[in-house]
Amino acid sequence: MLSAKATRITLFSFATPQMRAFHMTWLAFFVCFFAWFAVAPLMPVIKGDLHLSKAQIANINIAAVGITVLVRMAIGPLCDKYGPRLAYTALLGLGAFPVIGIAFAHSYTSFLLFRLAIGAIGASFVITQYHTSVMFAPNVVGTANATVGGWGNAGGGATQTLMPLVLAALLSAGLDRALGWRVSMLVPGLLMLVMAVLYWRLTQDTPEGNIVDLRRRGITVESGKAGGLAIFARAAANYRVWMLAITYGACFGVEIFIHGVAASYYVDRFGLSLTRAGFAAGSFGLLALFARALGGIASDRVARRWGLDGRTTLLFCLMVGEGLGLIAFSSVGTATGAVVAMLAFGLFTHMACGSTYALVPFIDRQALGGVAGIIGAGGNLGAVAAGFLLKAVGRLPATLGDLGLIVLCCSLCAIAVRFPLSHKQAERRSYERAVAERRAHLPEGAVA
C-alpha cells in the first residue's frame, strides 16, 4: 500500500495535498457548524414569530441533532467508497437547501422538518476526521484531527455571536424582526454553496490521489475495500468502537446540547439581551479554537511514552474533569458565574472530544470510515439523549447536574478500551517510523 502521509503540520502552508486537506476540512466544517446552529441564537425571536411552545422548542432542538446520528453512520462508509472529496462536496451542496429553506417556514411543522433536514450537515464532522486521518502520520494525526475538529467546531461559537449581529444589522436597515431572522438564514446557506465549490476544486482524497481513480488503476488504498456495508459491519463488530461512541456522546453530545440551549438559557434565566446572550453562549464554542486541539496534542504527547494505553487514560481523566465541571456549573446563580463555570467545564469537554478522535485512527485502519461514522454518531446520540433528559426533568440547571453524573459514569468506558499487545506493538512501530521520517527531513541541528 502506498503511503505519503505528512509527519508534520506546516500550519501556514497550502502547497501540499495534506495541508490543503487540513485547511479545507476545518473551513468546511466551520461553515457547516455555523449553518447547523445558526437558528439557535435566533430562537428567542423565532419562538415569538411562530408562537412556539416550550415543548415544541424542545422537539426542534432534538430534531436538530437526531437525524445526524443516521447520516454520520452512513457517511463514513461512503468516504471509504467514494472518497471524502466527493462526500464533502455533496453534503455541502445538498445541505445548503434546507438551511435556506428554513427562512420560508411559517408553521411549527415546516420549521421542524427543515430543522431535521439541517441536522444532516452535522455529518460533516465525520468527513473532516476521515480526511485528515488518511493524510497525516501516526505521530501527528491526533493533533491534526483535534485541530481541524476544534477550529471547525468554533463555527458553533461564531454563529452564537455573529447571527444576532447579522439580525441587528438587518433590523437597523429597516427590516422588521419577523423578516429579519429569515433573511439572516440566507447567509449560512450561501456560504455552504461557496464552500462546496472550493472543496471540490482544491482537495484530493489521499496523498496519492482520489480514491476512485486509485482503485481504477489497481492501487490499494488504506481502507482496503470498496466501502459500504462490509466496512460498517467490520467496525460495528469491534467493541472499542462502541465504548468510544459512548464517551463521545458524553463529551460532544454535551457540547452540541449546550450550543442548542445556551443563548435561550442566558436570556430566560438571567435576563440578558439577545446580543449579550449570544456573546456569553459564543464563548463556549470559541473554546474549540484551541481546547480541542489541546486534547489532541496532549494525546499525541502521552503516546510518545505510554502508547495507546496513555491515550485512553488521558481521555478518562478529561471526562472526569468534564463531569465534575458540569455539576459545578449546574448550581451557579449569576450570569458572570455561569460564564466562568461554563468555560471551565467547556475546556475539559472540548479536550475530551479531541482526545477521543486522537484514538479513532488506531482502532481499525481497515474500517476507518465505519469507525469514524459510528463514533461520530454516538456524539449526536448523546445530544439527543440530553434533549430528552431536559424534556423529562423540565429545568435546565437540574438537567446539567444530572448530565454531570452521567458523564462521570461514561468516563469508565474510556478505561474499558484496551488493545492486544500485537496491536500496540504494530502501532508503536508505525509511530516510530513516522518520527524517524520526520527527523530525517529536518534541517541539521533542528529538534523534532
What are 316-371's pLDDT values in tens digits? 999 999 999 999 888 888 889 889 999 999 999 999 999 999 999 899 988 888 89
- Which among 102-106, 221-225, 268-272, 431-435 has the top mean pLDDT? 102-106
The predicted structure's pLDDT at residue 161: 85
The predicted structure's pLDDT at residue 289: 82
The phi, psi pair for 222, rounded to 5°, reads -60, -40
d(CA 216, CA 95): 29
SS3 9: coil
d(CA 166, CA 275): 10
SS3 6: strand
d(CA 138, CA 80): 19
The phi, psi pair for 127, rounded to 5°, reads -65, -40
User: Taking the alpha carbons of 30, 32, 35, 36 in that order, is the dihedral positive or negative?
Assistant: negative
Radius of gyration of the chain (CA): 21
Classify residue 173 by burial, with Cβ atoms within 10 Å: 0-12, 13-18, 19+.
exposed
3-state SS string for 399-416? HHHHHHHHHHHHCHHHHH
CA neighbor of 95 nearest in space, from 153, 33, 50: 33
SS3 209: strand
Q: Are 361 and 138 in contact (CB under 8 A)?
A: yes
The predicted structure's pLDDT at residue 447: 41
Which architecture, in CATH terms, is 17-205+223-437?
A: Up-down Bundle (1.20)
Q: Mean pLDDT throughout 20-30?
A: 97
Give the domain ranges of the chain: 17-205+223-437
Classify residue 152 by burial, with Cβ atoms within 10 Å: 0-12, 13-18, 19+.
buried
pTM (2 decimals)? 0.80
Q: Is the per-residue pLDDT at 21 higher than 80?
A: yes
The phi, psi pair for 170, rounded to 5°, reads -70, -35
